[in-house]
Structure formats: C-alpha cells, structure tokens
C-alpha cells in the first residue's frame, strides 16, 4: 500500500472515532503496523526480535511533561509514560518545533532510553502544531537500527497535521485536562532509564 493510500485510510478511520485518544490511535496504528523494515533478516544487534512502538506525546496542561497517549506497543505499565518536557529527543523537538529522524540512535550521543523494556535503534519524532501552538508530537520507533527510512519519515511528517487536526476536532485539550495528571503515570527522569 502506498503511503498516500495508507494515510487516506488511517485518516478516515481516525475521523470516525469519538474521542481524541481513539482518533490518534486509529491514525497511528496502520503506520506502526506498516512502516519500517520488517523482514526476517532484520535483527537488532542484541539478537532480540524486531518490534515497533508508536504514540503521541502531548504537552501536559501544566507544561511540565510530555504525556504518552494513544500508545501502541509500549509496555502496559508505561501506557501513560511521562517524560519531562525538556527530556531527550521529545524535548529537543519541543524546543525546535522541527521533525527529527534518527535512523540509528546509537550514532546519536544524546539519545535517552525511556522505554522500560528496550533501547530503540531507529526513531521518528514529528511535532503536532495547531495555529502555531505546539500540542505534542507523534512518534514511531523500531528496535533495530536503520529500520525507519526517509520515506517513513516523510509519511510520519504528512500524518502530523492530520493528528493535530484530529486532536483539536475531537476535543483533545478538554480531554487532556480531564485526564491529567494520570493516576497510572509512569514518570521517568530527564536522563532516561
């Protein structure tokens, strides 16, 4: 399936959802399931199985945290992963307001591990902007290095405005205010795990 066809189907499915988290999950699920290198010859250096995670890190109402919503593939106890606003690459994207593609996280000395179960080898972070406001960012990461290509990066960049529009259209700000702070929040330090 072409990236445009994938985004069209994902966007339509997201538009049919009744709340902002479900809408983002519907938008991101096909991307998490389809993008990236997945062949049997793709094996992370530690020999573990290849896997992907996706979600959105939304800026908390008190602007202290990036709070994970619409998580796909994260450990259950990290369903509400909380990263300090300036922490790691989510913090870098927040500060720059620019998308970021890390084909090989090992080659980036600033990468911080926030996923409890594994260090991801390849990652994409794309800001969700609305009327010049930074709402949060969508993310996609893979266990194996060099798993996410430039085409995957461009597809995620095309998905970010859809994610922002869905968030706003589905009442994301009100939902976030009602959800934050989450009782199941998994807070991590700036330096990671």
Cα distance from N-terminal residue to C-terminal residue, the chain: 36
Domain boundary assignment for the chain: 3-35+50-186
Please state which of the ranges 8-12, 114-118, 176-180 shows the lowest mean pLDDT.
Answer: 114-118
| Token pair in block for residue 174 | 């009100």
pLDDT digits (tens, 9 = 90+) for 15-73: 999 999 999 999 999 999 999 998 777 777 777 889 999 999 999 999 999 999 999 99
- When pLDDT is cut at 50, 70 and 90, the band that residue 108 belongs to is confident
CA angle 193, 138, 10 (to 5 degrees): 135
Contact predicate 167/129, CB 8 Å: no
Q: How far, rounded to the nearest angstrom, does the alpha carbon of residue 90 sit from its chain's CA centroid?
A: 9
CATH fold for domain 3-35+50-186: Beta-Lactamase (3.30.450)
pLDDT at position 41, please? 73
Tokens 């896997």 sit on residue: 51
pLDDT digits (tens, 9 = 90+) for 131-170: 999 999 999 999 999 999 999 999 999 999 999 999 999 9
Please state which of the ranges 8-12, 72-76, 166-170, 188-192 shows the lowest mean pLDDT.
Answer: 188-192
């Amino acid at each position: 399936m072409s990236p445009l066809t994938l985004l069209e189907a994902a966007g339509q499915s997201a538009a049919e959802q009744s709340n902002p988290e479900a809408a983002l999950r519907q938008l991101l699920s096909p991307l998490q399931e389809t993008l990236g290198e997945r062949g049997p010859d793709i094996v992370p250096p530690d020999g573990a199985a290849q896997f992907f995670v996706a979600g959105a890190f939304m800026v908390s109402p008190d602007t202290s945290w990036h709070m994970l919503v619409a998580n796909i593939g994260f450990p259950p106890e990290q369903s509400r992963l909380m990263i300090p606003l300036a922490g790691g690459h989510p913090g870098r994207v927040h500060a720059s307001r620019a998308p970021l593609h890390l084909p090989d996280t090992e080659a980036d000395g600033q990468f911080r591990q926030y996923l409890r179960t594994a260090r991801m080898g390849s990652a994409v972070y794309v800001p969700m902007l609305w009327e010049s406001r930074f709402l949060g960012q969508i993310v996609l990461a893979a266990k194996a290095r060099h798993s996410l290509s430039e085409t995957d990066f461009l597809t995620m960049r095309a998905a970010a405005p859809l994610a922002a529009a869905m968030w706003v259209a589905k009442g994301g700000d009100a939902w976030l205010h009602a959800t934050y702070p989450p009782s199941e929040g998994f807070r991590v330090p700036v330096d990671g795990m």
